[in-house]
Amino acid sequence: MATLKRWVLRSRPQGEIRPENLELVEEQVRDLADGEVLVRTVYLSLDPTNRIWMSDQDQYMPPVGIGDTMRGGSIGVVEQSRSGRFKQGDLVNTGLGGWSTHVVANEGALFPVPQIPGVPVTAFMSVLGATGLTAWFGMCDIGKPQAGETVVVSAAAGAVGSIAGQIAKLKGARVIGIAGGKAKCDWLTGELGFDGAIDYKNEDVGAALDRLCPNGIDVNFENVGGAIMDAVVDRMNNYGRMPLCGMISTYNDNDRPAGPKDFARVLMHRLTIRGFIVTDFLPRAGEAMAELIPWVASGQLKWKVHVDQGLEGAMTSLQRLFTGDHDGKLLIQVSPEP
C-alpha cells in the first residue's frame, strides 16, 4: 500500500518556530471513498500566514489543531481517482491541501489548473494564484491608485508586494518599493520599473521617503508593520488609503502588534485603513483574472518564484520568509511536474 509523509503540528511556537513544534511522520494512504481522489503534491506554497495558523491567536481561520497536518496551499497531480470529475494525470489545485506528499480529497474541494501556452505551472501558485489575487484586490479594490498618485509598497520584492507595485504602475501611479538589500532594490527599479526603492537594511527609511516622496504618500500597501509602517503612515496625504495585507515583522512576537504610533493622523488626515484576506474576494476572482492573465501573457506583469526542493526541508525553507533570503514567491517542489 502507498505511503505518504506529512508535517504535523505538535506544539504552538512561542516566538520563532523551533524543531519541536512540527514533526514529519510517514503513514499509509487510506482507501478512497466514492468521489475522492489521491493527489500527489507537486508544489507547496509557503506563506507568512503559516506562522499565524500555528498560533492560537485571534485570526481569520481556525488555528491548525495540535496533531493535525500543517495547513498550506498546494498544486498536485491526480494519481488515483474514484471521481467522475477528475481522472488520473489531471493537474489540480487542492486549496489548502497541507504540508504533505499526498492529499486525499473530495472532488468538490479540487479545482483544475488551467493551461496557458508559455505560462509555467508555478504561475498558478503565484501571479495567477492567491498571490496575484491578493495583490490585485488589495491594490485595485482598496488602494485604488490614481494616475500621478504616489504609492509605497513594503516587502516590495516579496511575492505579493512585487505584483502589487507593478499593478499600481500599470494604473499610472508613481511607485516606491521598500525591500532589504541592494540586489532586491535594483530588481524593483530595473526589471519591474518602480520609480524608486528603499533598502531598509542600509538606509534610514524616513529620510529616504522624504527624498523619494516629496509630495507625500497616497497609498500604502502594507506588508510589514512596525517601524516601517510608522514611517510611511507619518507621510500619508489627506484621504490616503492603506490596504493592510500583512505585518510580517511582528509574526514571531508573543505580544499583539501595535497599530500606527501616530493614530491621530488617521483622523486628522482622514485616512482609510482596511485589513483584508484574499478569501474574502474569491467569489470575484474573475474580475482580477480578467486583467492579470492578459498582463502576464503580454509580459507586462513579471514575477519571480524561489523553489526549494523536498518536503523534508519545509521548516528550514519557511524561515526564508522571516530572513528575506528569497525573491518573489516561495515554493517547495515536493515531486516532479507531470
Q: Which tens digit of pLDDT belongs to each residue from 5-28?
A: 999 999 999 988 999 999 999 999
For 60, 172, 275, the CA distances from 55, given in Å and listed in that order, are 12, 40, 19
Q: Could you say which residues of the chain have pLDDT below 70?
A: 1, 253
Render the burial of 85-118: b for 16+ CB within 10 Å, e for the rest: ebeeebbbbbeebbbbbbbbbebebbeebeeeee
The fraction of the chain above a pLDDT of 90, given in percent, is 86
Tell whether 22 and 41 lie within a shared domain: yes
Position 274 scores a pLDDT of 97
Position 328 scores a pLDDT of 85
Tell whether 251 and 144 lie within a shared domain: yes
Q: What grid cell was written down for 282? A: 474569491
Secondary structure class of 264 (helix, strand, coil): helix
Position 1 scores a pLDDT of 60
CATH number for the domain spanning 52: value is: 3.90.180.10
Q: Rounded to the nearest 10 degrees, what angle do helices 226-233 and 205-212 cross at?
A: 30
Number of domains the chain contains: 2
Q: Which of 303, 322, 332 minimizes the C-alpha distance to 161?
A: 303
Tell whether 116 and 8 lie within a shared domain: yes
Q: Specify the pTM.
A: 0.91
Residue 26 sits in which domain range?
Answer: 3-125+304-333
Rounded to 5 degrees, what angle do the CA atoms 36, 37, 43 make? Answer: 135
Residue 291 forms part of a structural domain = no
Tell whether 141 and 262 lie within a shared domain: yes
Spatial separation of the C-alpha atoms in residues 304 and 326, rounded to whole Å: 10
Rounded to 5 degrees, what angle do the CA atoms 136, 140, 144 make? Answer: 150
The string of pLDDT tens digits covering residues 201-225 is 999 999 999 999 999 999 999 999 9
177 forms beta bridges with 153, 197
Position 15 scores a pLDDT of 87
Residue 295 forms part of a structural domain = no
Tell whether 219 and 158 lie within a shared domain: yes
